[in-house]
C-alpha cells in the first residue's frame, strides 16, 4: 500500500478564468503538498501568474473548486488569503520605497511598547529573520536604496514574518545574480523544512531542477502534466510546454563582421562609479556584457545613451567624435536602448500594443496630417508576428498582457526605430524558452542586416551562446575581455567569466 505521507495544502480542480478575448485558465488542476516546492512552467501567457493570483485571492475564478487546507473556498479576498497563510511575492515589488526595511516588514502590524512603537524590538526581529538565512543587513536601510536582489529578499522576509504556510514566488530570480539566487535557494530550503509550501514560477529551467520537487506544465491556459522533477529532463519539459521539439538552443549565424561602428574611450560617470571603461563595437557584431548584478553594465549603457552624466570619456561613432548629452542625441546618432526595467522605462502600460509599437514611427506614418492607419497596422502586425507576442489583438492594452509579452512589446517598440546600434539590457529576462529562440533569431537577423548589438545578460549560457566577443565588468570597471576564439569550444569559459566578474582588482584589458 502506498504510504499516505503527503499532506495536501491546497487543491484546485477544473479552474476556469476568462478575460475579454482570452481564456487565461481553461479547466486547470493543481495540487500543492505540504513542504514541497512546486514549480509552474509554461510559455508566456500560459496562465501561471493568473493561477497564483486566484490562489492568493487577488483575482476571482469564474468556475472550479478550490480547497485550502481542506476547507472549500468560495470567495477569497487578498486579506483573507493572507490570514489563512498565503503570501505572494509578486513579479512587481510591493514594498514602500521610502520606508526602512524594518518599517516595511512591520507595516500595519507594528510592534508596540505601551503606546509607542517598539522600534528596538522591530529592528532586532528583522535582524533575526535575515540572520536565519545567513544574511547580514542593516534593518534601517531604506528600501529604495537596496538593489533589486535585496528588495526581493525583503519581500520574502515579510512573508516569513507573516507566518506564511504557502508562498507563491512569481519569477523571483529574474533580478538576481548567481550568488543571490543561492541565498534565495537557501531560504527556500529552510522554509521547506518548516513545512512551508512554495509555488515557484521561473523561465530558467536549470533552476527548476535545482529547487523544485514537482513541476506542473501549462500551455495556453490548460493543464498539461505534473511531473516529479527527478524523473524528467529538460527536453521533455520543453516539449511539453512548447508542444513541439526545440532542436538547437542558440541559432547559428554566419555574419561577416565589419569595421568599427562605435568606440568608447575612458568613460567614467558622475553619479555611479563607472571608471575608465573603453571598448569598441563593430558592424555585424554581437558584443556581450557579463558581470554580476550591480557590476555597472547597465550604468555604462545609460551613460552611453545620455541618461546618466559622464564625468569624462569620449564616444566615437564611425570614427568621428560625437556629443551625447541626452537620449535624443543618442537616438539621432543611431543608438537604441531596450532598457532592463521595462515596466518603468520600456512600455506605456496604459496604451495599446499598437500605440506602443508604432509610437516612434508616427512621424513617418504621417500623411496629409493624418496617420496612414493601414501602414501602421501592417508594421505592428509584422512585429507581433516576428516576436510572437501573445495578444487577442493589437488594440489590447499592454497592462493586460502577461509579463513576458509586455517585455516583447518593449523590445518591439525599440526595434521599430531601426537604429544601427542596438543595446539590449537583459533582452530575454522573463521570456519563455520558445520565445527566447525567436529573440535570438531576430538578433541574428539584425546583425545580418549590418546592425551592431550590445547585449547585457545575467544568463551566462546565453551570453556565451550568442556573443562574438564578451566584456566582463566588476565594480564599475572592465575586468576581462574574451575574443571569439576564446569563447567557442572553451569548456571552462563559464568559470573564466565568473572569475573575471568577481575579481576585485581590475586587470589590464
Ligand X SMILES: Nc1ncnc2c1ncn2[C@@H]1O[C@H](COP(=O)(O)OP(=O)(O)OP(=O)(O)O)[C@@H](O)[C@H]1O
Catalog residues that contact Mg ion under the rule CB under 5 A.
Answer: 49, 402-403
Q: How many CB atoms are located within 10 Å of the residue 378 CB? A: 10
172 binds ligand X (CB under 6 A): no
Integer Cα distance of 169 and 199 in angstroms: 6
Q: Give the CA radius of gyration of the chain.
A: 24
Asked if residues 394 and 373 have their Cβ atoms less than 8 Å apart, the reply is no
**Distance (Å) of CA 417 to CA 6, 86, 380, 395:** 55, 44, 12, 21
Query: Which of 9, 49, 197, 336 touches ligand X by CB under 6 A?
Result: 49
* Residues in 8-27 that interact with ligand X by CB under 6 A: 19, 22, 24
- The residue number with the shortest CB distance to ligand X is 404
- Nearest CA among 509, 501, 415, 412 for reference residue 458: 501
Work out how close the CB of 499 gets to ligand X at its nearest, in angstroms, rounded to a whole number: 33
- Nearest CA among 476, 457, 473 for reference residue 465: 457
Three-state DSSP class for residue 10? strand
Task: Give the one entry of ligand X, Mg ion, none that residue 313 binds, where binding means its C-beta sits below a cut-off of 5 to 8 angstroms depending on kind.
Answer: none
Which residue's entry shows cell 529573520? 129
Query: Which of 269, 336, 358, 405 touches ligand X by CB under 6 A?
Result: 405
45 binds ligand X (CB under 6 A): yes
436 binds ligand X (CB under 6 A): no
Q: How far apart are the first and last CA of the chain?
A: 65
Three-state DSSP class for residue 374? helix
Number of residues that bind ligand X (CB under 6 A): 18
- Nearest CA among 94, 272, 97, 292 for reference residue 180: 292
**Nearer to Mg ion (CB atom), residue 15 or residue 472:** 15
50 binds ligand X (CB under 6 A): yes
Work out how close the CB of 380 gets to ligand X at its nearest, in angstroms, rounded to a whole number: 17
Please choose, out of 39-47, 189-197, 303-311, 342-350, the segment that lies near ligand X by the rule CB under 6 A: 39-47
Our CA dihedral for 348, 354, 357, 362, rounded to 10 degrees, sits at -100
87 binds ligand X (CB under 6 A): no
Please choose, out of 42-50, 157-165, 227-235, 381-389, the segment that lies near ligand X by the rule CB under 6 A: 42-50
* Residues in 362-401 that interact with ligand X by CB under 6 A: 390, 400-401
Work out how close the CB of 224 gets to ligand X at its nearest, in angstroms, rounded to a whole number: 13
- Nearest CA among 87, 150, 92 for reference residue 139: 150
**Nearer to ligand X (CB atom), residue 106 or residue 437:** 437
Task: Identify any residues that bridge with 218 across adjacent strands, giving them in sequence order.
Answer: 223
Task: Give the one entry of ligand X, Mg ion, none that residue 50 binds, where binding means its C-beta sits below a cut-off of 5 to 8 angstroms depending on kind.
Answer: ligand X
Query: Which of 38, 48, 429, 436 touches ligand X by CB under 6 A?
Result: 48
Length of the chain: 509
Work out how close the CB of 51 gets to ligand X at its nearest, in angstroms, rounded to a whole number: 7
44 binds ligand X (CB under 6 A): yes
Task: Give the one entry of Mg ion, ligand X, none that residue 38 binds, where binding means its C-beta sits below a cut-off of 5 to 8 angstroms depending on kind.
Answer: none
Integer Cα distance of 449 and 465 in angstroms: 20
Query: Which of 139, 288, 306, 404 touches ligand X by CB under 6 A?
Result: 404
Residues near ligand X (CB under 6 A) are 19, 22, 24, 42, 44-50, 390, 400-405
Amino acid at each position: 500500500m502506498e504510504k499516505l505521507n503527503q499532506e495536501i495544502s491546497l487543491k484546485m480542480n477544473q479552474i476556469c478564468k476568462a478575460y475579454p478575448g482570452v481564456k487565461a485558465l481553461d479547466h486547470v488542476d493543481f495540487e500543492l503538498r505540504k513542504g514541497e516546492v512546486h514549480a509552474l512552467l509554461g510559455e508566456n501567457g500560459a496562465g501561471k501568474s493568473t493561477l497564483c493570483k486566484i490562489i492568493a485571492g487577488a483575482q476571482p475564478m469564474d468556475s472550479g473548486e478550490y480547497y485550502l487546507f481542506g476547507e472549500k473556498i468560495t470567495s477569497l479576498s487578498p486579506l483573507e488569503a493572507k490570514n489563512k497563510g498565503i503570501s505572494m511575492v509578486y513579479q512587481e515589488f510591493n514594498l514602500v520605497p521610502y520606508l526602512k526595511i524594518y518599517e516595511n516588514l512591520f507595516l500595519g502590524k507594528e510592534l508596540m511598547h505601551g503606546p509607542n512603537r517598539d522600534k528596538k524590538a522591530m529592528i532586532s526581529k528583522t535582524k533575526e529573520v535575515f540572520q536565519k538565512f545567513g544574511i547580514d543587513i542593516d534593518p534601517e536601510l531604506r528600501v529604495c536604496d537596496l538593489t533589486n536582489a535585496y528588495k526581493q529578499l525583503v519581500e520574502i522576509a515579510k512573508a516569513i514574518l507573516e507566518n506564511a504556510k504557502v508562498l507563491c514566488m512569481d519569477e523571483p530570480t529574474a533580478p538576481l545574480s548567481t550568488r543571490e539566487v543561492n541565498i534565495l535557494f537557501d531560504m527556500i530550503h529552510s522554509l521547506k523544512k518548516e513545512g512551508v509550501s512554495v509555488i515557484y514560477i521561473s523561465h530558467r529551467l536549470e533552476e527548476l531542477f535545482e529547487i523544485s520537487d514537482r513541476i506542473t506544465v501549462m500551455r495556453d491556459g490548460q493543464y498539461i502534466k505534473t511531473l516529479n522533477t527527478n524523473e524528467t529532463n529538460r527536453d521533455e519539459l520543453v516539449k511539453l510546454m512548447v508542444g513541439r521539439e526545440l532542436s538547437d538552443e542558440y541559432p547559428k549565424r554566419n555574419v561577416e563582421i565589419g569595421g568599427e561602428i562605435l568606440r568608447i574611450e575612458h568613460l567614467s560617470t558622475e553619479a555611479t562609479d563607472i571608471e575608465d571603461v573603453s571598448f569598441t563595437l563593430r558592424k555585424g557584431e554581437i558584443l556581450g556584457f557579463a558581470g554580476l548584478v550591480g557590476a555597472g553594465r547597465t550604468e555604462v549603457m545609460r551613460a552611453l545613451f545620455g541618461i546618466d552624466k559622464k564625468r569624462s570619456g569620449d564616444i566615437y561613432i564611425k570614427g568621428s567624435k560625437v556629443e551625447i548629452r541626452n537620449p535624443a542625441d543618442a537616438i539621432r546618432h543611431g543608438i537604441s536602448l531596450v532598457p532592463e526595467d521595462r515596466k518603468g522605462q520600456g512600455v506605456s502600460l496604459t496604451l495599446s500594443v499598437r500605440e506602443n509599437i508604432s509610437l516612434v514611427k508616427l512621424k513617418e506614418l504621417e500623411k496629409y496630417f493624418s496617420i496612414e492607419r493601414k501602414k501602421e497596422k501592417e508594421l505592428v502586425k509584422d512585429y507581433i508576428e516576428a516576436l510572437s507576442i501573445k495578444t487577442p489583438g493589437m488594440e489590447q492594452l499592454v497592462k493586460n498582457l502577461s509579463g513576458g509579452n509586455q517585455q516583447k512589446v518593449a523590445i518591439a517598440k525599440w526595434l521599430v526605430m531601426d537604429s544601427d546600434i542596438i543595446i539590449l539590457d537583459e533582452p530575454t529576462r522573463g521570456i519563455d524558452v520558445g520565445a527566447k529562440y525567436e529573440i535570438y533569431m531576430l538578433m541574428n537577423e539584425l546583425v545580418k542586416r549590418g546592425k551592431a548589438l550590445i547585449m547585457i545578460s545575467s544568463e551566462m549560457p546565453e551570453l556565451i551562446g550568442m556573443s562574438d566577443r564578451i566584456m566582463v565588468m566588476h565594480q564599475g570597471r572592465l575586468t576581462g575581455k574574451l575574443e571569439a576564439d576564446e569563447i567557442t569550444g572553451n569548456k571552462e569559459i563559464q568559470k573564466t567569466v565568473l572569475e573575471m566578474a568577481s575579481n576585485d582588482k581590475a586587470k589590464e584589458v
